[in-house]
Chain A
């Protein structure tokens, strides 16, 4: 029988319906501790206007369930400040990447920070990049108060260092590109006006006058706006390669010179409007692509992710401890690490016993028991009780430090992939040059210099790869925008091209194919009466919710899915035996839960009532339900699939068989350093992983996908990141990449046909400035149409 659910109460902060509300003295109810604290903060600093802004725009903030009140002490550390802050005329400012910003009320609240925090003078939010820049008063340098306040309001701040691309040069780069586009646009529109008059029949003095005017207006385009093309062309030629910008620059420069000559000779053929248009269009498409790329997360300074939480160091031969940052530790110090804290260094336990989860290092999900003298590594999570550790290695020397150092300065030796379009432009340029010289000599011989110049100029302008230069960036930015809409973050366009040619796919086990934590798979009651069963469930729930062992957490989660009004019963002398289970008295009945690891990939957890088994559960690191379909689909497209994991052989074999991997493709107990060696043996490899340990493997594979839930680290080292917890996004990303390359090939085909026709017409003299001014935009528009048509939203999941 189901217990009826009492009347739903609405949380007065985030508006979620809630069953067991938290009450505050003012009689308001909240869904969680987080919402209550945010509500109180707003009350104290009379910022209740937050709520009427919300109503007016009727979009509610998300609830702040997992509000971990961090200290952010590391922000005040001088070394940190010098690397992360800007000093402008004595004012210190730092930018934070904020998670959880999404509505007008958030903007209002965040920009009200100066009224909440004493030493903050100004806070400015950029909602597009969800980046807040906080400026302190003159002479102040502590950002921790500001960060703490932001965190307590439900926004999770990540400091952005000032050397990162995001802050400094990317902004300058974007501005200069925008300037070039603006000037090209102005010149293009006004040149069209004057050359348009000449096309419309202005004769005599006006025609010459307009010629010179167009020349005058074309100068800023050719000598300022088109600089990026020349730079990249020269760069390409320097290392003996040819990219799309070489033919482009050729057309612009040659077109400009010859057109100027024609203006001086008072002839009618000048192509300034075509030159200005193509420069404007291609610059614009590159600007759109630059905007689509995710430059905010990059790979330097990875170690700092693990050095954020402060830890406690024992003051020499005294019993008390001082709060200190991990990078300030030095060997021979003694450190105290409490429950649920990250181990700040490599060393050995000298007091106390605990269970440690090594997933960040080895990817293994199961936590392992560590007693006296056992070796611990930096970055792993202490799940058990507080222990004291003797430090022997810190910072870069630690095992994870070495691993990350390798990743950071690992020059990505992926084969230098150049785009199809660049390959094509190599032949294209030579062909055009050849044709141009032939035409020039033929007409020079047959008629006179001016006539031959006319034809060559027409040829060069018409065959300029404007359509192609426009298509590739546009296709990639459309694909990346489409991917992002479906929860797939692709960080750069070369990943798309590489993804379209992969053959072998390597999967990490924990966290990628499996859920990464223990799930209850089977359970059995030893009493048939259902009211008894609910009591047993309640007891199990109360006992297990006292321990933070991973198995206990899964059991608690399982219990609450079964029945969501379990109450915490009164327990008498509750006791947890590390690694064995929990026991205690409820209303003078003795209950004990014993968990045993069968070693065959699953764990038994039995509840005994006064020594007699009442309820038995079986937990295993279950395979994700969407793993089967995704693997089936991938194998359907003739990809070879491999399973690579650091976990124990028995578990890996069981999962491998379950997912129909060929035995020889299953590799188990592979330490992080070795994973990349396996991958190197294969060409066109894709690696799908999640933990920090896969970061090195990410580098070696041609393309790397980090699944959802992985630590911020993967976000920075992998090429593609699954924003949502769906494995079929892997399939979708491959479909998208293939479609992108298909669109580029179609555009390639179209522009080749267009060029052949254009060139032949130009050679035979049918093309003049007016005809060029018509067919050039038409060709660009068709390319644009093809690209937009093929990347419309119809590219849904699944269909290839």
Chain B
């Protein structure tokens, strides 16, 4: 006897809602130019520009 899975009626919309939220984030990221240059960020994160302000 097939057991009823009403829970899916919540889990699926929720998973979709969560997924579409990440699509929204993806759109915002692409539009605001996060992925224009994919070569330099991995190198720029290595640099730290301390400033030793010797008062």
Contact = CB atoms under 8 A, between A and B. Distances in A.
B40 A128 contact: yes
Interface residues of A, number: 25
A148 to B, nearest CB: 23
Contact of B30 (A128, A182, A213): A182
Contact of A128 (B2, B22, B38, B44): B38
Interface string A185-221: 0100010000000000001101000000100000000
A107 B40 contact: yes
Interface string B18-29: 010011001100
A175 B36 contact: yes
Nearest to A220: B23
A113 to B, nearest CB: 13
Contact of A186 (B23, B33, B43): B23
Contacts of A127: 39-40, 43
A175 B31 contact: yes
A157 B33 CA distance: 24
A183 B23 contact: yes
A213 B35 CA distance: 30
B7 interface: no
Contacts of B38: 128
Contacts of B33: 171, 175
B35 A178 contact: yes
A190 B16 contact: yes
B39 A128 contact: yes
A290 B35 CA distance: 15
A190 B19 contact: yes
B46 interface: yes
Contacts of A213: 12, 16
Contacts of B43: 104, 107, 127
B53 interface: no
Contact of A126 (B19, B26, B40): B40
Given A53-B47, A107-B44, A190-B16, A174 B36 contact: yes
B37 interface: yes
Contacts of B19: 186, 190
A92 interface: no
A112 to B, nearest CB: 8
Interface in A78-131: 104, 107-108, 111-112, 125-129
A283 to B, nearest CB: 14
Contacts of A237: none
B10 interface: no
A111 B48 CA distance: 12
A204 B2 CA distance: 10
A126 B46 CA distance: 15
A182 B49 CA distance: 34
Interface in A162-187: 171, 174-175, 178-179, 182-183, 186
B30 A179 contact: yes
A186 B17 CA distance: 12
Interface of B: 2, 5, 8, 12, 16, 19, 22-23, 26-27, 30-31, 33, 35-40, 43-44, 46-47, 49
Given A104-B43, A107-B47, A171-B36, 11 more contacts: A111-B44, A111-B47, A126-B36, A126-B37, A179-B31, A186-B22, A190-B16, A190-B19, A203-B2, A206-B8, A213-B12
10 contacts: A108-B47, A111-B44, A125-B40, A128-B40, A171-B33, A175-B31, A179-B31, A182-B23, A183-B27, A213-B16
Interface of A: 53, 57, 104, 107-108, 111-112, 125-129, 171, 174-175, 178-179, 182-183, 186, 190, 203-204, 206, 213
The 5 closest A-B pairs by CB, nearest first: A128-B39, A126-B37, A127-B40, A182-B26, A127-B39
